C-alpha cells in the first residue's frame, strides 16, 4: 500500500508538467494576445485607444518575449505560489480568485446536496419498482431534466422569479449586499437567489445520477446473493441497504475525482447566463480575453485538484471495496 501511494504521488509530477504545457499552449494558440482583444472590446463600445500606450503595455506584460520564456516565467512563479498577474483585473491572480471561491463553494455544495437528496430516493425507488407507472413517470421527468438545455431553463426561471417574486435578475444576492459583511439579511438574500442556480445546475446532474443508480442497482438486484438473503427471511429494506446498494455505489466514489474540480469551477455557461459571481464566468472571460495567467493558473489549480481527487477516490475505493487490489495489474 505504501509503495503504491508513493508511486502514485511521483506519477503526478510528470502529469502536471504535461498539463501545464498543454494549458499554456492552448491559451497561446488563438491569434493575438490579451491586448488585441482588449483593444477590440474598447472599440466595440466606441472608445479609442492610443497605439503607443498599447505597445508600452505589450512590453510591460512581456508579450514581446518568446513563448517558452513566458512559459518558464509563469511556471517558476507557480512553484513559489505566485499565480501571476491578471491583466484584465490589474491585480495578482491570487487576489482575483480568492473572493469568488467562497461563493462557488456555496453554489456547488448546495447543488451536490440537492442532487443527492433527490437522486438517491428516486433512483432506488425506480430500481425496486422497475417498469411500474411511477418508474416510467420518474424516468420521463429525469429525461426531461437531461434533455432541457440548462441555459434555457435558467432564462425561464429568471424571468419567472423576477415577474412573480420580484427577485432581482441574476447574481447571488441583492445588489446592496455585495461587498458587505455577512449578516442574517444577507444570508436570506443569498438563499432567495440560490435556488435558481441550484435547480438549473442540479437538474441534469440529478437525472444522470438517477439513471446510473437505477442501472447499477438493477444489475445487483438480479444476483443470487440477493435471492439468498431474501430466502433467508431478511427484511427487503435491510437486504437492499446492506448489499446491493453498497455495491452500486462504486461508480459514485470513483466520481469524487471529478467532483473536486467541479466544486470550484462551477457550471460556467449557466453561471454566465445567471450572472453568478463564481469562478466559472471568470474563467470563461479570462479564456476569451486571453488573460493568460489568470486562465492558465486557474486551470492548473483545477488540474491539480483533479489529480488529487482521482488519487483520493482510488484510495477510498480500495478501502471500501475489498474486491479491489492495488497491485493486481502488476502481478498479471
The C-alpha cell that represents 71 in the structure block: 512559459
Torsion, Cα of 253, 258, 261, 262 (10° steps): -90
| Interaction of residue 303 with another protein, rule CB under 8 A | no
| Interaction of residue 332 with another protein, rule CB under 8 A | no
Enumerate residues 127-166 that contact another protein by CB under 8 A.
Answer: 158-159, 162-163
To which H or E segment does residue 197 belong?
Answer: helix 184-221
Largest CA distance in the chain: 85
Which single residue is written with the C-alpha cell 483585473? 89
Enumerate residues 47-66 that contact another protein by CB under 8 A.
Answer: 47-48, 50-52, 55-56, 59-60
Query: In degrees, to the nearest 5, what angle opens at C-alpha 313 toward C-alphas 307 and 317?
Result: 150
| Residue closer to another protein, measured from CB, 91 or 140 | 91
Query: Least distance to another protein from the beta carbon of 89, Å?
Result: 6
d(CA 146, CA 209): 10
Residue in 4, 63, 89, 195 binding another protein, rule: CB under 8 A: 89
With beta carbons less than 8 A apart as the criterion, state whether 139 and 126 touch.
yes
Quote the DSSP letter at residue 293. Answer: H
| Interaction of residue 171 with another protein, rule CB under 8 A | yes
Residue in 102, 178, 191, 241 binding another protein, rule: CB under 8 A: 178
End-to-end CA distance of the chain: 18
Could you tell me how far CA 5 lies from the centroid of its own chain?
26
Residue in 27, 96, 210, 307 binding another protein, rule: CB under 8 A: 96
The C-alpha cell that represents 39 in the structure block: 483593444
Tell me the window of 19-27, 170-178, 189-197, 224-232 that interacts with another protein (CB under 8 A).
Answer: 170-178
Enumerate residues 3-32 that contact another protein by CB under 8 A.
Answer: 30-32
| Interaction of residue 181 with another protein, rule CB under 8 A | no
| Interaction of residue 85 with another protein, rule CB under 8 A | yes
Q: Which residues bind another protein (CB under 8 A)?
A: 30-32, 36-37, 40, 45-48, 50-52, 55-56, 59-60, 82, 85, 88-92, 95-96, 99, 158-159, 162-163, 168-171, 175, 178-179, 272-273, 275, 277, 281, 285
Amino acid at each position: 500500500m505504501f509503495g503504491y501511494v508513493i508511486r502514485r504521488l511521483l506519477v503526478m509530477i510528470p502529469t502536471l508538467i504535461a498539463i501545464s504545457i498543454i494549458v499554456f499552449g492552448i491559451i497561446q494558440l488563438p491569434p493575438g494576445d490579451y491586448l488585441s482583444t482588449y483593444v477590440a472590446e474598447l472599440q466595440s463600445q466606441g472608445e479609442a485607444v492610443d497605439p503607443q500606450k498599447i505597445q508600452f503595455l505589450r512590453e510591460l506584460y512581456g508579450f514581446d518575449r518568446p513563448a517558452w520564456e513566458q512559459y518558464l516565467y509563469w511556471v517558476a512563479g507557480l512553484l513559489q505560489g505566485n499565480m501571476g498577474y491578471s491583466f484584465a483585473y490589474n491585480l495578482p491572480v491570487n487576489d482575483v480568485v480568492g473572493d469568488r471561491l467562497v461563493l462557488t463553494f456555496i453554489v456547488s455544495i448546495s447543488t451536490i446536496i440537492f442532487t443527492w437528496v433527490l437522486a438517491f430516493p428516486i433512483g432506488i425507488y425506480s430500481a425496486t419498482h422497475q417498469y411500474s407507472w411511477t418508474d416510467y413517470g420518474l424516468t420521463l421527468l429525469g429525461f426531461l431534466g437531461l434533455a432541457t438545455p440548462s441555459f434555457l431553463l435558467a432564462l425561464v426561471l429568471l424571468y419567472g422569479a423576477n415577474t412573480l417574486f420580484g427577485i432581482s435578475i441574476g447574481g447571488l444576492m441583492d445588489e446592496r449586499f455585495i461587498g458587505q459583511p455577512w449578516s442574517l439579511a444577507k444570508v436570506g438574500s443569498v438563499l432567495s437567489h440560490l435556488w435558481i442556480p441550484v435547480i438549473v445546475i442540479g437538474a441534469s446532474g440529478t437525472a444522470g445520477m438517477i439513471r446510473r443508480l437505477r442501472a447499477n442497482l438493477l444489475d445487483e438486484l438480479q444476483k443470487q446473493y440477493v435471492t439468498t438473503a431474501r430466502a433467508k427471511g431478511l427484511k427487503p429494506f435491510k437486504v437492499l441497504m446492506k448489499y446491493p446498494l453498497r455495491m452500486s455505489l462504486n461508480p459514485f466514489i470513483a466520481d469524487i475525482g471529478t467532483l473536486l474540480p467541479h466544486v470550484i469551477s462551477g457550471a460556467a455557461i449557466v453561471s454566465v447566463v445567471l450572472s453568478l459571481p463564481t469562478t466559472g464566468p471568470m474563467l470563461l472571460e479570462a479564456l476569451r480575453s486571453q488573460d493568460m495567467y489568470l486562465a492558465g493558473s486557474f486551470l492548473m489549480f483545477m488540474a491539480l485538484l483533479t489529480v488529487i481527487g482521482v488519487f483520493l477516490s482510488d484510495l477510498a475505493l480500495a478501502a471500501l471495496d475489498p474486491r479491489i487490489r492495488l497491485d493486481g495489474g502488476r502481478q498479471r
